[in-house]
Structure 1
Amino acid sequence: MWRNRSQFVSGRAEIVDFLKQKWNRELEYRLIKSLWAFGDNRIAVRFAYEWHDHSGNWFRSYGNENWEFNESGLMVRRLASINDVPITEADRLFHWELGPRPNDIPELEEFRL
């Protein structure tokens, strides 16, 4: 079961469809996650990511995620609270090439977000 903003999805097939729609809408997605807490079978992270829509409007999305895993290590629950803030292209902070964040890009805390 996943909650993403106000949307609820459950089951692997629904989650795959959800992610396809998300990544079709949120283009040139660049993400930084920071571990917040962990214990037993749960992890909490905070994050920020930048993206633009098909019209070229840029956004920075902030939030927190809570993950819960089963005995096999598979995620059984993801709760995400996310706020989207419109930004200009000049306000962007995440400028690396598409793909994983390079090692020389600072952690989220260093961006003071």
Structure 2
Amino acid sequence: MKFIFENFSCDVDVFYKEDDILLRFYDSSREQEEEEIINLVIVDPGFGYLCLKVKGEAALLSGYLDESVFQTNEIVEAAITFIENLSPHTRNSYIPSHVARFKRTSFIEYNGEY
């Protein structure tokens, strides 16, 4: 699946658990194929995640998005609308949300080399 906003597009993995939805935004060209997972592997964490949890007649939306990709309020709102449109249970529902933009500062990694 693709997320498209103006001149930007990225891949999206969609995970369902009952009525809840989790989205992962990423670039599929940066992911290794199974035969490439040997010795040195650099795992790309993607551009962020959104989670929509249905709570009866309402829902809660939370997540975090990489601010180097999701630079404006408009693209964040487009991502929120994208996940809301995937759920038939949230049409006309009250959906409080909290989506944080993050800036990568460091990481922890094991790549098979050390």
TM-score of the superposed pair, with normalisation by structure 2? 0.31
Larger Rg: 2
